[in-house]
Chain A
Amino acid sequence: MMWFWLIPLIPGASALILAVFGRLLPKKYVSWQACLSVLASFVISLISFFGLLRVPAESLPVVKTFFRWIQSGQFSADLSFQLDPLSSIMTLVVTGVGFLIHVYSVGYMAHDSGYKRYFTYLNLFTFAMLILVTASNLVLMFVGWEGVGLCSYLLIGFWFDRHSAANAGKKAFIVNRIGDAAFILGLFFIFLNIGSFDFRAINAAVAGGGVTTAAATLIAILLFAGATGKSAQLPLYVWLPDAMEGPTPVSALIHAATMVTAGVYMVARMNPMFTHSGVAGHLVGLVGALTAVFAATMALTQNDIKRVLAYSTISQIGYMFIGCGVGAYAAGMFHLTTHAFFKSLLFLSAGSVMHALSGELDMRKMGGLRKYLPLTYPVFLVGAIAIAGVPFLSGFFSKDAILTHAFAERQYFIWALGVMGAVLTAFYMFRLIFLTFFGEERLDHHAKEHLHESPPVMTVPLIILAFFSVVAGYAGLPLVFGEKANLFSRFLEPVIHTGHGGGLSINTEWFLILISVAVSLCGIYIAYVFYRKSPQTPHRLVARFPAVYKLLYGKYYVDEIYNAVFVNPMVKGSEVIYQNFDLKVIDGTINGTAGAAGFSGKALAYLQSGEVKDYALAILLGVVIFIGFLVFG
C-alpha cells in the first residue's frame, strides 16, 4: 500500500535499462525483464487495491509527494503520486491487461528484428500510462498524457520502413497534438481560476463554489477537446483506424489498456468540474453517443479485420463518454474496465488469426477457420459475445448500466443512439465472426500451407482474457439485483459522485434490460441472416442502395474531407510560404549578410600588399599622427 508509487516506476526503470543496455542483453533476458516488470507492477497494484479497501473514505486519496518539481512565481507543481479507487482500478487494468499483452508479444514478435526496441517502447508506454493514472496533479498527468502520445507514435510507426506505417504514426501524433493544444489551454484556465493543479485543490475549489459555471464550462470543454484527441472521438478519431499499421499487440495495448482510455479516465477524474458545468457534461454525452453510432456504421462495411475492431473501439469509447456525460461516471469506468478485457482479447485473437494466416488481414480471404484454430475461435467468440452485449457476459452489464443511466437522466435521444449503436455492434461483430470462422474457405494457397494454431505463449493470455471477459461484469450488477449489488460503483463512491439511478422503478429497469438483450440478439440474428442463411442479402442491399454503401465503405470520406479542408491548404500554404518567405526573405537575409562580408573582405584585401615596407610605412604614419596628436592636440 505504501509502495504504490512503485507501480509506474518499475516499468519505467525497466524501459530505461532496456533503452540503454538493450543492445548488450540477450533476447531471452529482455523478454523476461519486460514482462516481469509489468507483472511486479500488477502485483503491487493488487496489494494496493486490497489495502485501499481498508482505508476510510475520509483519508482518501493516499498521496506520496517526492519533492517540489516546478516553482515559478504563483505556479507550482509537485512530483507526487496519489492512489484512490479510480486510480487503483486504472492501475489494475493497465498493468493486468498490459502484462498479458507483454506475454503475448513474446510469441507474436518472436521473429521481428526490432524485438528489443519493441519491448523498450512497450514498457515505456505502460510507464507513461501509469504516470497518467497515478499523478496527483494535472501537470504530472500531462507528462503521462504526452508520454502515451509519444509512445503511440513510436509503436504505430514501429515498422517505419513501411511508408504507410510511418505516415500512420505521424497522423496519430499530429491529431493528438490538436487535442493536446486544447488540453493545455484548459490547464491555463484552471490555473487562472483556481491557481493550483492539484486534484484535491481543484475539487475543493469546485465544491466550494470557487469556480463560476461559465469558467467550469470553458475548462471542461477544453479538457474534453483534449480527450477527444486521445480517446479518438468525433471529430478527432481519424488517427485510430490508421493506428492498425502498428504490430497487433500494440493495437491491443492502445485500444484496451492504455492511450484511448486516458480521455475517459481524465473526464472521470475531473468529474466535479463536468458536473458543476452541466452543459459540458451534456456535450460529452452527446459527442459520445454520436461517435458510438457514427463509428459503428463505419465498421459495418470494412473488410480489414483489425479496422472493424478499430471502429468498434471508437464506438465503445463513445459509450464510456455517454456514461460520463449523463453523470454515471462509475458506469463509464465500468465499461472501460470490461472493454479493456474483451477488446484486448479481440485484438490479440485477431492477431492470432493473422499469425496463423501469415499476416492476412482481409476477411474476404478468410472463412472456415473454425476447425483450423480450435483455441482462437472460442476465445474470439467469447470476446464477440461480450462486446455484442449478450446477457451474462461482461459487456452486457456495463453497456446496460450506461444506457440505464442515460434513460434515467431523461437523455432519451442519447439513449436511443446508444441502443442503435448496440444493434450495430452486435451486427458487425458477428459479421466478422461469420466471415472469418464460418462458411467456405477463401484462403490463399500460400496462407493455407502455413496455417497453424499459435504457440501457448500467445494462447494462454487469450484464455485468461476470455475468462475475465466473462466474469468481469459481475463486479457491477444492475440495480435490479439489489442496492448493494454494484460493487464497482460502491468502490468508486469516494471519488465519484454516483448516479443514483434517477429513481427508476424496478419494472422500468427490467424493461430496459430486456430491450438491451433484445437489441443485441437482434443484431446477431441480422448478421446470421446476412452472412450465413442467405449470403446474397448483403449484395442485394448494396445493389439497392449503392450510394449508402459507398458512403460507408468510404468511411464517410472524413479523411478526404479533412485532407481537402485542413491538410492540403496547410501543405499548399506552407509551400507558398516556403517559396516566398523562407527562400526569399530568410535565405536572402543570410546570403546577403555573407555576401556583404565577402565583398568588404575583398575590398579591404588590397590594403594587405604583403610588402614589409608598406606595413612599416603604415606604422610610421600611425606613430607620426599619434605624436602629432600628443604634441599639437
Chain B
Amino acid sequence: MIPVSYFFVLSLVLFVLGIAAFFIRRDLITMFLAVEVMLNAANLAFVSLARSAGSTAGQVIVFFIITVAAAEAAVGLAIILLVFRQKKSIKAEDMNLMKG
C-alpha cells in the first residue's frame, strides 16, 4: 500500500508545474493545457484522499470536475479559435483590450 502522502507530493508537483507553465508560456493553448494540468492535480488529490478515507464523496466530485473540464475545454478552445481568427495570433500579451 503506497502511503497517501506520496500521492499528495505528486499532486503538488503537478500543480506547481501547471502554475509555472501558465506563467512562463505565452501562447494560449499551452496556458490552457497548464490549467488542465492543475485541474488534474486537484483530481489526483481528491481520489487519493477518497481512497484512503474509504469514502466515495471524493470520487463523485472528481467526476464532476472531469465533466466541467470537458465542457470548459470545448468552450475554451472555441474561444481561442475565434480569437485567432480575429487577431491572427494566440499570444497572451496581444489580448489586452480590457486595459484600463
Contact = CB atoms under 8 A, between A and B. Distances in A.
Interface string B31-43: 1000000000000
B22 A608 contact: no
B86 to A, nearest CB: 16
Contacts of A58: none
Interface stretch (B55-63, B73-81, B89-97): B89-97
A610 B22 contact: no
Interface string A470-493: 000000000000000000000000
Dominant SS among interface residues on chain A: helix
A608 B95 contact: no
A541 to B, nearest CB: 86
Interface string A601-622: 0001111111111001100100
Contacts of B93: 611, 613
B95 A617 contact: no
Contacts of A606: 100
B2 interface: no
Interface string A285-319: 00000000000000000000000000000000000
Nearest to A601: B100
Pick the most buried of B96, B99, B100: most chain A CB atoms within 10 A of its CB: B100
B100 A613 contact: no
Interface residues of A, number: 13
Interface string B15-48: 0000100110000000100000000000000000
Contacts of B95: 610-612
A610 B96 contact: yes
A607 B99 CA distance: 9
B1 interface: no
A608 B93 CA distance: 14
A607 B100 CA distance: 8
Contact of B23 (A607, A609, A610, A613): A613
B96 A609 contact: yes
B59 to A, nearest CB: 25
A626 to B, nearest CB: 15
Nearest to A623: B19
B78 to A, nearest CB: 17
Pick the most buried of B31, B97, B98: most chain A CB atoms within 10 A of its CB: B98
Given A616-B23, A617-B23, A620-B19, A610 B92 contact: no
Contacts of B97: 610
Contacts of B99: 608-611
7 contacts: A608-B99, A608-B100, A609-B96, A610-B97, A611-B93, A612-B95, A613-B23
Interface of B: 19, 22-23, 31, 92-93, 95-100
Interface of A: 604-613, 616-617, 620
Interface pairs A-B: 3 shortest CB-CB: A610-B99, A608-B100, A605-B100
